[in-house]
Structure 1
Amino acid sequence: MMTFEVTMCIATVADAAEITEVVRQAYSKWIALTGREPLPMQIDYADAVLRHCFDLLHLEGRLATPIETRP
């Protein structure tokens, strides 16, 4: 059985560049199909992290996904 280290934390402005990179990796494949950047790629995450709560899921020490939560 394989085990993985999974951790979560709350994002800060310092995480914005890493969030942007993960989002670009996840959504860039859709540009050719739609002819434009998907909305998640157009967000200023430095600003979004200040206005919304983002939980960050790390797998083996690397950011796997940001999870935006709103009340």
Structure 2
Amino acid sequence: MSKELSQEERAEFAIEVERLRQEHRDLDAAIDALTSVGADDRLQLQRLKKRKLMLRDRITFLEDALTPDIIA
């Protein structure tokens, strides 16, 4: 990231990362539950998996923003 984050921004990002991780775990559990009961709602599974991927991308973005750039 081109600008340095303030302590407040870092704290907000960290809180959002934890919230997103929890939502990601919840989606994982929902996907497992749907597949274990043999639910054949492929559209619902596809939507849950897509949301899970979007969460992973956002988590990665925020984690990258929280990690300082190290010039080697």
TM over 0.5: no
Flag the structure with higher helix content.
2
So what's the TM-score if we normalise by structure 1?
0.30
| Structure with the larger strand share | 1
- Taking CA–CA contacts closer than 8 Å with sequence separation of 6 or more, which of the two structures ends up with the larger relative contact order? 2
TM-score by length of 2: 0.30
